Amino acid sequence: MEAIRFSEYRPVSIRSRNLEARLAETEADVDAAQALRYRVFYEEMSATPSAEIAAARRDFDAFDSFCDHLLVIDRERSDGLSNVVGTYRLIRREAAARKGGFYSAGEYDISKLVAYPGEILELGRSCVDAAYRNRPTMQMLWQGISAYVAHYDIELMFGCGSLPGTDVKEHAETLSYLYHYHLAPPALRPRALDQFYVDMNLMKSPKMGPHETLVSMPPLMTLASVPPLIKGYLRLGGFVGDGAVIDEQFDTIDVCVIVKTDLIAEKYTRHYERAKRQAGNP
């Protein structure tokens, strides 16, 4: 396995009160991120660890040595292992080329995304400590991603978002909603690999109209069954790929999410202009 290479400068450096967002700079930083991922995915949730992962009490795989690890750190926590309270795994083209491909390629045909002419970024392994699932921590994560995107001129982000459990019928409404209202345009649309493909168009009669058009589907803001992370991507103008994938190890149903960063910039511009008008600023 290739040794982790750490940057000598800080593409991400954000502080707000006791919280700091930055990239992992040492192997101890990566270890703390993997420890957090283990606590969330395997202890709190229902992922099934391999014997090696269970023994180490760390969530890790071969991609960890090639990517950047975005961290949110509580600087008031003295224990270096527990002061990482949020993390994201970030894989750019250069890192994927060194590894031999992107993580998502194990579930999806992402050839259209890889063929995109601009810089692309795969997001994954997102988790936050249970005591820090609040607005300040999430803002730090997203500000960190925004700084990273700006630094590397990322034009397209993608990754797998997850629905809890592996019972497709329990998520029929959500999967159908995503398929009918947020399917990526053909030029950017990933497709689940044939051996994993789960049809997302599950809402048939009586919720389908006479011309096979979806009716009575609640809007995104009221569709509580959409997990917050996926809902956040959709609010930024994101899309989903064709087909879901059952992940037995993590006990989830995955969908591939795509977000163009120019849509993010546009939405944030509108948000700040609206805030300025409401505050009476020019």
Instruction: List the pLDDT tens digit at each of the 282 positions of the chain.
Output: 455 666 666 889 999 999 999 999 999 999 999 999 999 999 999 899 999 999 999 999 999 999 999 999 998 887 667 799 999 999 999 999 999 999 999 999 999 999 999 999 999 999 999 999 999 999 999 999 999 999 999 999 999 999 999 999 999 989 998 998 899 999 999 999 999 999 999 885 334 443 444 444 455 544 667 888 898 888 888 999 999 999 999 999 999 999 999 866 555 444 434 443 443 433
Domain boundaries of the chain, sorted by first residue? 13-279
50 phi, psi to nearest 5 deg: -70, 170
What pLDDT, in 10s, does the model give residues 37-80? 999 999 999 899 999 999 999 999 999 999 999 999 998 887 66
**CA-based Rg of the chain, rounded to a whole angstrom?**
19
Instruction: Give the three-state DSSP class for 97.
Output: helix
Rounded to whole angstroms, how far apart are CA atoms 153 and 156?
A: 9
CATH code that applies to domain 13-279 = 3.40.630.30
pLDDT score, position 44: 94
Beta strand 119-128 pairing with 154-164 = parallel
Type of residue numbered 65: S
For residue 117, the tally of other CB atoms under 10 A from its CB is 7
pLDDT score, position 236: 85
> From the centroid of its chain, how far is CA 260?
14
Structure tokens at 204: 């048939």
152 phi, psi to nearest 5 deg: -100, 5
pLDDT score, position 163: 93
pLDDT score, position 244: 97
Rounded to whole angstroms, how far apart are CA atoms 270 and 170?
A: 36
